[in-house]
Structure 1
Amino acid sequence: MSKTGSYAGDVTPQAAWEALNKDSSARLVDVRTQPEWSFVGLPDLSRIAKKVILASWQVYPTMAIDPDFATKVKAQLGDSAGPVYFLCRSGARSRAAAIAMTEAGIGPCFNVSGGFEGDKDASSHRGRTTGWKAADLPWVQD
């Protein structure tokens, strides 16, 4: 785990999964868009009796940052206190979300490096080298 100034730091998908397993207060927020959730898939936390919080950092199709993002996430977190792990496609949007939520007084907030799909491989395909899917962590697709 690395720590960067305005949020708790980056963790691997495996470290996030372990934390979600071990800490009943830990939560996972997927900040991708509705099309990504529908067509690419979602982390599946059902075996640890948790649900992924879905809150888009950017609004599809304009991809403008949602000005109500913090309010929406806080509403879904409710009164729970504990570490919050943020996930996107590759780790960029989720880092921005972790920073924003730390500034909003939530946390500790972590960025899941590599995101859900990870970096592109030599064939420009995602999901094979890094990220939640490549780590063979549980996920589902509609």
Structure 2
Amino acid sequence: MSEDRVLLRSPELREQLLGHLIVLADAEYQRQMLLERELTSEIDDDCWDDFAVHLIYFELAFDFVYDDTNLIKNPEGAIGVFLKDDREVQLVMAVIDAIERVFTAVGIEAADREYISCPEWQGVLKTAADALKVMNGDRA
């Protein structure tokens, strides 16, 4: 084990966050999921409405950031829990700020296509990729 490894109290939360960042950093995956949703919704739209509201954003923002972790109110409190240091806090908060800019641009009730098509979404892709690169460094 290297000296820079940090033991976290909730490594499972870190894994969950990394999974969200992978999705948020991958424009091709997002387009594919949107296409699958649109094709499936032609067959059974009610099924998607029940459980797939804003697949790309809301799982991260509302479940993880607001409900599961309280990250939005106390980001520094995540250090030692599922984030290693202040640098990781800053990177994750940059992703959240980028998502908030998307919300400002298109609203909070927009369709997924509107989110990933707006120019501000490029900021989400970039900040998520930046965070993922740093946070995944310990897996190399």
Q: Which TM-score band (shorter chain)?
A: under 0.3
- TM-score, normalised by the number of residues in structure 2: 0.26
User: Highest CA radius of gyration, 1 or 2?
Assistant: 2
- TM-score, normalised by the number of residues in structure 1: 0.26
Which is richer in helix?
Answer: 2
